[in-house]
Every structure is written in structure tokens, then in C-alpha cells.
Amino acid sequence: MPKTEKEKGFVDIINGRYKPRGVFHTIEKNQPIFDKDTGKLAGVTNPRDMTYIHSYGGEAPFFEGLGKGRLMATRCDNDKCETRGSMYQPFRIYCPDCLRKNTIIDMTDIAKTTAKIHSYIITHRSGAFNTLPKPIKFINVEFEGVVTILMSVLAVGEPEINKKVIPIFNTKAPTYTITDLRFVVEGTSKSELPEGFTF
């Protein structure tokens, strides 16, 4: 049963500190576990219902960008770095070689024109808390000029290695998580996109 607004926890930052409001956990009694064959006590349940608070830190521009239909990446521009010019998607705050702060760049257009599938997998299984529709079509996406390979999901179409794909964004009701970014195969029409998503 989804929680009502009154049952949820929210967090603001005020004067540089987290200020939680609402409900962050509910208390539920332990329940005994009996062995049905012997009738003896074996243990207890320990119910937990918690909400974590998490900082995106320097990656926040990436997650905020998704809700605005932009795919942000980073690039090392340090003249003294031997891998200068490397573009990173996933977005890396620091260059893994020189450890200088990378430059944030907008690679939406690169993604729209060069994204293709490096590998993929389709699974009908998921873990608790999954919000994606099943089956989940995992794809790993290569972009021209990017030294890494982004993991995402294919929302429309069938995956194949080297197939061109186009990013779509959850701009109508962003969750500010990686699930706001998905891909569709080239040629997908606007009407085929999942609810809330735009090119």
C-alpha cells in the first residue's frame, strides 16, 4: 500500500544542515518464528521501515539535468594530465588520473547523435523497491568521444549490439534518480514514450 503524504519523510537543507520533517520510520512489533514441525521457537522477525538521507554532492548537476532534458557529463581539462580531454559518462567529479576537478559539459547532443548499444541484457526479475517496468532491458551505451560506457535501460524497442539509441528524460515528474534517464531505439515516436518522458 503506497504511503500517504502524511506518512512520508521529507528533508530540506536549512543553514547548511539537513532538516527532516514528516515520518522517517514506523515501529512494528517483532513476531516470533516457530518451527511448524517441532512447535519450538527458532527466532523472531525484526521489522525495519527506514528512509535514508543521501547527498549527491558534486554529481547533483547530473541528476538535476535529467529532469530538464539534459545529459551532463564531465571532461578533464587539466593541461598537465596525460589523459586530458577524456570525457566521462558516468559523470565523474574528479579526473581519475590527475584528481583535478573535471569540467561539467552538456553532452545531450552528442548522446542524441552518437549513442549506440555496447551490450545488453533482458531480465524478468528484479529486487525489492524496483520501480522499472518488467522485463527490464538493461543496455550499456557508448558515445562518440566518451571513454566510458554508461549503464541504462531501453524503454522502447529491442536491444542489439551496435544499435543506435536516443536518450529520453523524465521531465514531467522527475524523481531525480538515474531512472529519469532511459533510451529508446532510433525512430521511436513521441507517442510511444513512457508517461512523463520527453526527448
Partner 1 sequence: MIKFSDKQLKIPKLMRPVYLATVGMSKFDRAFPETRTEELCIQAFTAAADFVNMTPSELKKYIHTCYYGHFADHFGDQLLGEAVIHDRLGLDPLGNIGVKTGGATGGSAMWEAVKTVASGYSDCALALGWERMDEVPTDEGNHLISAAADKDWETPLGHIYTGYYAVMAQRYWKIFGKEEDSFRDTMAEIAVKNRGYARMNPHAQGPLKITIEDVKNSPIVAYPLRALDCCLMSVGSACGIVCDEKTAYEITDKPLRIYIAAGSHTLRVADRRNMTIPLLPNETTETYKDLGTRFPGSDRYPGFTGFLAARMAAYYTYRMAGVVDPIEDLDVIELHDAFTISDIQSYEDLGLRPYGEGRDYIESGDGYLINPHTKKQGKLPSNLSGGLIGCMHAVGATGLMQIAEIGYHIWNRWDEIHEPQEKWDAFGREKPDDWTSLQVKNAKRGLAISHAGVGSHVTTTILMDPNHLLKED
Which residues in 56-75 contact partner 1 (CB under 8 A)?
Answer: 56, 59, 63
- Contact between 26 and partner 1 (CB under 8 A)? no
Is the C-alpha dihedral spanning 81, 86, 92, 97 positive or negative?
negative
Under rule CB under 8 A, residue 103 binds partner 1: no
Does 33 engage in binding with partner 1 (CB under 8 A)?
Answer: yes
Q: Which stretch, 8-16, 35-43, 64-72, 166-174, contacts partner 1 (CB under 8 A)?
A: 35-43
Residue 126 engages partner 1 in binding (rule: CB under 8 A): yes
At its nearest, how many Å lie between partner 1 and the CB of residue 129?
Answer: 5
How many other CB atoms are found less than 10 A from the CB of residue 93? Answer: 14
Using CB atoms within 10 A of its CB, is residue 143 exposed (0-12), middle (13-18) or buried (19+)?
buried
In the complex with partner 1, the residue whose CB is nearer, 46 or 191, is: 46
Half-sphere exposure of 161 (CA within 13 A, CB side): 2
Which of 95, 111, 115, 150 binds partner 1 (CB under 8 A)? It is 150
Greatest distance between any 2 Cα atoms in the chain: 72
Task: Kindly tell me which residue out of 24, 101, 136, 196 binds partner 1, with binding defined by CB under 8 A.
Answer: 136
Helix (H) or strand (E) run with residue 90 in it: none
Assigned C-alpha cell, 141: 551505451
Q: Give the ranges where 83-148 is alpha helix by DSSP (H).
A: 108-114
Q: How far is CA 134 from CA 125, 148, 155, 183, in A?
A: 7, 27, 10, 15
Selected binder of partner 1 within 5, 12, 79, 82 (CB under 8 A): 82
What residues make contact with partner 1 under the rule CB under 8 A?
33, 35, 42-43, 46, 48, 54, 56, 59, 63, 82-83, 86, 90, 92, 96, 118-132, 136, 138-140, 147-153, 161, 177-179
